[in-house]
Amino acid sequence: MKALRTKGGNLLLEDVPRPKGSEALVRVLRSGICNTDLEIARGYAGFEGTLGHEFVGVVETAPDAPELLGKRVVGEINAGCGKCELCLAGDPRHCPDRTVLGIKGRDGAHAEYLTLPSQNLLIVPDNISNDAAAFVEPLGAAWGITERVNISPDTRVAVIGDGKLGLLSAMALSLASQNTVLIGKHRAKLEHVADYDIETHLTSDAPKMHNSFDVVVEASGAESGFAMALDLVKPKGSIVLKSTFHGTPTWEAWRVVVDEITVIGSRCGRFAPALDLLSEGKVRVDNLISDKLPLAEGLRAMELSARPGVLKVLLDMEV
Ligand SMILES: [Zn+2]
Ligand SMILES: [Zn+2]
């Protein structure tokens, strides 16, 4: 089968054997390219293998879960050891021995087939399209912010960043808070949330919103986002760090102390709430798709995805 892989700092479209083993075998229908894929391809996390962690597919074999056969599924990306305290409590996302689809110790979704433990798979309701289902992982990650910080209807929330992660985070959080503001550099991108109860601002407006927010989500993936988050958050408020930014940002740590700010990291969310949000039509993702290319054009898709102004690029394994 074809697979988009990274090896020794290179990105390659290779022919590799179809995966085997005792896990469920999934034929991939769509996969989504994430900024994390771009960072991994640049060497982040030292991962080598097939990239991709956002997908929808059809289960072809599932030795321990025959009820999944032929079903359209998405899959939680963290596979735990099944034995440690965290795994036994039902949350393998921080299992010290976990593998992560397309990120750590496990081949990913930019391929014709992948395998995952059957307990990671969730059946996709019929009213969610294949294209939309490819967003379950990033939407789960966006909604996952609500697992890490308390957001009620009157919480004042600012999301910094109008890329894929920022847009999805603002969309999701606007369902929890009636005071959600999205701040970005591109007027055209900010327009993607026009159908939601979200106030949008260009970053040039940020100085006017000094100390205004209970919760500030940094989703810009840029160093400047950290300092802006400190400017926007109220004393005793919370900053949620969402982008896997790989520089060493300089920010004035003393302000965290003086203003008693809580700094919170947020990575993966749960899939079930994201499926509900899509199925109920509360979040609509179609306007976030910039392009859809066959897997054979995976290298071009990655290159396209890195261009400024481009939102989600999907790989379509059905063409
Ligand atoms: Zn991702
Ligand atoms: Zn474990």
Return the pLDDT at 243: 82
Separation of CA 78 and ligand 2 centre (Å): 10
Region 90-111: mean pLDDT is 95
CA-CA distance, 157 to 217, in Å (whole number)? Answer: 8
B/e letters for 151-163, b = 16+ CB within 10 Å, e = fewer, are beeebbbbbbbbb
Separation of CA 250 and ligand 1 centre (Å): 25
Region 286-306: mean pLDDT is 97
Model confidence pLDDT, tens digit, residues 191-227: 999 999 999 999 999 999 999 999 999 999 888 899 9
Question: Residue 257, class by beta-carbon neighbours within 10 Å (0-12 exposed, 13-18 middle, 19+ buried)?
Answer: exposed
Does the structure show a pLDDT above 90 at 43?
no
The ligand with the least distance to the CA atom of 81 is 2
Return the pLDDT at 221: 85
Does the structure show a pLDDT above 90 at 89?
yes
The answer to whether 108 and 51 are in contact (CB under 8 A) is yes
Does the structure show a pLDDT above 90 at 309?
no
* CA distance between the termini of the chain: 14
Return the pLDDT at 182: 98
Separation of CA 289 and ligand 2 centre (Å): 35
CA-CA distance, 273 to 196, in Å (whole number)? Answer: 18
The ligand with the least distance to the CA atom of 82 is 2
Separation of CA 260 and ligand 1 centre (Å): 31
Model confidence pLDDT, tens digit, residues 257-278: 999 999 999 988 999 999 999 9
Separation of CA 79 and ligand 2 centre (Å): 8
Separation of CA 54 and ligand 1 centre (Å): 6
Model confidence pTM above 0.85: yes
CA 160 to chain centre: 16
The ligand with the least distance to the CA atom of 93 is 2
Give percent of the chain above pLDDT 70.
100
Does the structure show a pLDDT above 80 at 132?
yes
Separation of CA 228 and ligand 1 centre (Å): 24
Return the pLDDT at 29: 98
Does the structure show a pLDDT above 80 at 44?
no
Separation of CA 188 and ligand 1 centre (Å): 22
Return the pLDDT at 51: 98
The ligand with the least distance to the CA atom of 91 is 2
Region 247-256: mean pLDDT is 86
Return the pLDDT at 8: 85
Whole-number CA gyration radius for the chain: 19
Separation of CA 74 and ligand 2 centre (Å): 21
Return the pLDDT at 249: 82
Does the structure show a pLDDT above 80 at 16?
yes
CA 249 to chain centre: 21
The ligand with the least distance to the CA atom of 108 is 1
Report the candidate in 265, 258, 142, 159 with the shortest Cα–Cα distance to residue 214. 159
Question: Mean of the per-residue pLDDT values for the chain?
Answer: 95
Separation of CA 35 and ligand 1 centre (Å): 7
Report the candidate in 176, 151, 140 with the shortest Cα–Cα distance to residue 266. 140
In the structure, ligand 1 is a single-atom ion and the residues with CB under 5 Å from it are 34, 36
Does the structure show a pLDDT above 80 at 319?
yes
Separation of CA 272 and ligand 2 centre (Å): 21
